[in-house]
């Protein structure tokens, strides 16, 4: 299936947008990402003064999860304008210029980045109070699409998203990293990253449910594009993000941990998976789940089904049941029997959600 798409009217070779981070440190990194199949690449955040990062500032804390104490770009804004953005554009990269963190810095860098060839702009702020004025300044200085990146660390992040959308920005990136957080090396008793107090910011698989919630909330309340960023590691994660309402899928941690070439794997896998699910385009799958996000709690009871042919007798459904309601019996090597004690079962659904083969599944009555 063809996974080319458009974002803010800009043609993309794939729906994967590289979020601002270590891999987009400069033109060299951005070109590698483009050649691997990224639809667009967002620069590291350009500010008036380059960052001095603590050491170490990135650590893997568990599978597909990172903590970082990294700041913004460590090269000057002038270098981005004179060298990095033009070189990336010359190589065919769709460039999103990340600008932060104040209205003054937006005023300093939007115009030059526009002239350097940036295709769109992503505004970033640690303080939500400044993001509306940043958007207002940006809209006066460029006719190109302006996007605001919202943070789950803000109070009422969706409210701020709707405010800036009302000002006329092109879309939202949801979400920034989660934090501050802490992880400790038990062998040295030291924090894993060198940020203040040892704190850092969480990215990767652990934040996907948080990101999905924000993407869905913004998508429900606005028809403008959302870049769904946060926790997308697999092709299945990408489809979830699209179904939640994203028009493009942000990635950062996955190619950091699995290599830039992993973007090619994601592109091929997404094409195959969407075709197998019956979708013919990115736009068709985008928002497919929105009609099912009911404003009330779901009280429709479901029923369980069991397929003994695909059961591998792992026993996980029995093990995780909080109410000891399930029994799995191997009558022979080829035949299994599943019993459910209806008087104990609360229909929480955990057992079917954890089945590795789908042998135990549920359907609405």
CA 43/CA 28 separation, integer angstroms: 11
* pLDDT over 90 (residue 335): no
Over residues 38-55, mean pLDDT: 98
pLDDT reading at 199 higher than 90: yes
User: What H or E segment, with its residue span, contains residue 162?
Assistant: helix 157-167
Higher pLDDT, 363 or 136: 136
Give strand pairing partners of 5: 12
Domains within the chain, CATH numbers bracketed: 5-292 (3.20.20.70), 302-364 (3.30.70.20)
pLDDT > 70? residue 331 = no
- Residues 337-355 have pLDDT tens digits of 899 999 999 999 999 999 9
* Mean pLDDT, all residues of the chain: 96
Q: What SS3 state is found at 167?
A: helix
Find all residues with CB under 8 Å of 116, minimum gap 6, and list them: 80, 81, 82, 85, 86, 89
In sequence order, the β-bridge partners of residue 99 are: 46, 123
80: phi then psi, degrees, rounded to nearest 5: -60, -45
Report the first-to-last Cα separation within the chain, whole angstroms. Answer: 34
pLDDT in tens, 88-135: 999 999 999 999 999 999 999 999 999 999 999 999 999 999 999 999
43: DSSP letter: P
Query: Hunting for tokens 């299945």 — which residue is that?
Result: 236
Q: What length is written for the chain?
A: 365
What pLDDT is attached to residue 271? 98
The answer to whether 84 and 114 are in contact (CB under 8 A) is no
DSSP state of 4: -
Condensed to tens digits (0 to 9), the pLDDT of residues 269-287 reads 999 999 999 999 999 999 9
Mean pLDDT of 242-253: 98
d(CA 192, CA 198): 7
Sequence-distant (≥ 6) Cβ neighbours of residue 332 within 8 angstroms: none
Q: Is the pLDDT of residue 365 over 80?
A: no
Q: What is the pLDDT averaged over residues 227-243?
A: 98
Q: So what's the pLDDT on residue 333?
A: 63
pLDDT at residue 332 in the model: 67
């Amino acid at each position: 299936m063809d996974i080319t798409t458009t974002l803010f009217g800009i043609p993309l070779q794939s729906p994967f947008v590289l979020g601002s981070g270590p891999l987009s440190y400069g033109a060299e990194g951005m070109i590698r990402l483009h050649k691997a199949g990224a639809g667009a690449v967002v620069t590291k955040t350009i500010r008036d003064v380059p960052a001095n990062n603590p050491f170490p500032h990135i650590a893997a804390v568990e599978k597909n999860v990172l903590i970082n104490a990294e700041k913004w770009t460590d090269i000057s804004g002038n270098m981005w304008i004179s060298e990095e953005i033009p070189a990336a554009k010359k190589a065919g990269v769709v460039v999103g210029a990340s600008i932060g963190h104040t209205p003054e810095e937006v005023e300093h860098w939007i115009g030059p980045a526009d002239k350097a060839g940036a295709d769109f702009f992503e505004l970033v702020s640690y303080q939500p109070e400044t993001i509306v004025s940043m958007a207002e300044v940006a809209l006066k200085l460029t006719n190109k699409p302006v996007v605001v990146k919202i943070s789950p660390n803000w109070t009422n992040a969706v409210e701020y998203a709707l405010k800036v959308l009302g000002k006329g920005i092109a879309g939202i990136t949801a979400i920034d990293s989660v934090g501050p957080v802490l992880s400790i090396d038990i062998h040295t008793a030291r924090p894993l990253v060198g940020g203040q107090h040892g704190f850092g910011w969480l990215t990767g698989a652990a934040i996907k449910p948080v990101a999905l919630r924000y993407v869905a909330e913004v998508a429900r309340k606005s028809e403008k594009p959302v870049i769904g960023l946060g926790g997308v590691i697999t092709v299945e994660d990408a489809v979830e993000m699209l179904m939640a309402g994203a028009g493009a899928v942000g990635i950062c941690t996955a190619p950091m941990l699995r290599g830039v070439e992993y973007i090619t794997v994601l592109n091929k896998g997404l094409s195959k998976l969407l075709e197998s699910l019956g979708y013919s385009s990115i736009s068709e799958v985008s928002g497919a789940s929105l009609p099912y996000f009911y404003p009330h709690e779901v009280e429709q009871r479901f029923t369980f089904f069991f397929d003994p042919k695909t059961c591998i007798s792992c026993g996980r459904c029995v093990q995780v049941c909080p109410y000891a309601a399930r029994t799995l019996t191997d009558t022979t090597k080829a035949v299994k029997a599943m019993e459910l004690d209806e008087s104990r079962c609360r229909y929480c659904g955990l057992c079917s959600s954890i089945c590795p083969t789908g042998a135990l599944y549920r359907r609405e009555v």
